[in-house]
Amino acid sequence: MSDFIAQLIGLGHQYKGVPEIFKDVTFGIEKGSFHFLTGPSGSGKSSLLKMLYLGLKPTWGSLQLFGEDTLKMQSRLVPLLRQKIGVIFQEFKLLEHLKVVDNVALPLRVRGVDAKQCRKQAQELLEWVGLGESLDVYPPSLSGGQKQRVAIARAVIAQPELLLADEPTGNVDDNMAMKLLYLFEELNKRGTAVIIATHNPRLIERSAHPHLTLTEGTILQLPKCTVLS
């Protein structure tokens, strides 16, 4: 077994009818690593993460995930790989007809964890992100920042091997942002590889993790603590 969770080689993507967003992205995500992913708006950060959680097929190149060649593997493996990945979507993607606690417990439920255990873990996590009062509330009545924290709790509850966070601190104040960064780092210490796509320079400044920048269709790997704005 290699120590890479994901290996991207010459990866590129083009949406129909528009110029390609990136064309030659090559890098590897090691087990237990921590990266920031930056780049101007529209550079393709969300699209790159989408490829990593198998929501978007690359137009060029190859993508290995957990040792599987994603372009050649059987489709029945897709859910199994996704169960190893936690995603915080830029637009949250919460289920509006489910209570907050059930939203958070969703990844556990699809893995077959029993209802009682699901609720217990979801409750703990929600208390930690400051939403202990909102367990039985439905997402439409939450603020943007609250929804974001629900989305984060859902992404981390199953202790994934890879956490993909798309602007996870875009809707919260600095204090909460730092608290969430601390959560990601705690998870990282337990072995989860983390990639955070962000525009937030303070987040990058205050931690000592390397960051990847998407510019002109390729990835530029910057040394630790270098801030590019």
Partner 1 sequence: MSHHHDLPLNKDITARFVPKIVALMVYLGTLCFVFTLFMIHSSALWENQLTTPLSVEMPTLKTTEANSLPSRVLDLLNQTPGIQHAAVVPQKEMASLFHSLLGEDIDVDLFSLPIIIDVSLNNQEKVNFQRLEAGLKNISPHVHVTDHRGWQIQVSNLFHTSIFIAFFITILILFGALATATFATKTSLLIHGQVIEILSLVGATNSYIAKQFQVHAFKQALIASIIGSSFAFLTFFGLVILLEKAELPFVVHSSFFSQTLWVFGLAPVFMAFAMMLSVRIAVMKVLRS
Ligand X SMILES: Nc1ncnc2c1ncn2[C@@H]1O[C@H](COP(=O)(O)OP(=O)(O)OP(=O)(O)O)[C@@H](O)[C@H]1O
Residue found under tokens 């599987």 = 68
80 near partner 1, judged by CB under 8 A: yes
Minimum Å gap between C-beta 58 and ligand X is 13
**Angstrom distance (rounded) from CA 211 to CA 222:** 6
Minimum Å gap between C-beta 156 and partner 1 is 12
What separation, in Å, do the N-terminal and C-terminal C-alpha atoms of the chain show?
37
Neighbours of 5 (CB within 10 A): 23
Give the tokens for residue 154.
């859902």
Interface residues with ligand X (CB under 6 A) are: 15, 18, 21, 39, 41-47, 90
57 near partner 1, judged by CB under 8 A: no
At residue 180, the 3 state secondary structure works out as helix
Number of H helices, E strands in the chain: 7, 10
Of partner 1, ligand X, Mg ion, none, which one sits near residue 139, judging by CB under 5 to 8 A according to partner kind? none
Classify burial at 62, counting beta carbons within 10 Å of its beta carbon; exposed 0-12, middle 13-18, buried 19 or more. middle
**How many residues would you count in the chain?**
229
At residue 60, the 3 state secondary structure works out as strand
C-alpha R_g of the chain: 17
Of ligand X, partner 1, Mg ion, none, which one sits near residue 42, judging by CB under 5 to 8 A according to partner kind? ligand X
87 near partner 1, judged by CB under 8 A: yes
Contact with partner 1 (CB under 8 A) among 115, 225, 227, 228: 115
Nearer to ligand X, 47 or 218 (CB): 47
Beta bridge partners of 199: none
Nearer to ligand X, 43 or 200 (CB): 43
Of ligand X, Mg ion, partner 1, none, which one sits near residue 225, judging by CB under 5 to 8 A according to partner kind? none
Q: What angle do CA 54, 57, 62 make, to 5 degrees?
A: 95
Residue found under tokens 């990282």 = 188
154 near partner 1, judged by CB under 8 A: yes
Nearer to Mg ion, 42 or 191 (CB): 42
147 near partner 1, judged by CB under 8 A: no
46 near Mg ion, judged by CB under 5 A: yes
33 near Mg ion, judged by CB under 5 A: no
Give the interface with Mg ion as residue ranges (CB under 5 A). Answer: 45-46, 90
Give the interface with partner 1 as residue ranges (CB under 8 A). Answer: 53, 55, 75-76, 78-80, 82-83, 85, 87, 89, 93, 95, 97-98, 102, 106-107, 109-111, 115, 154, 158
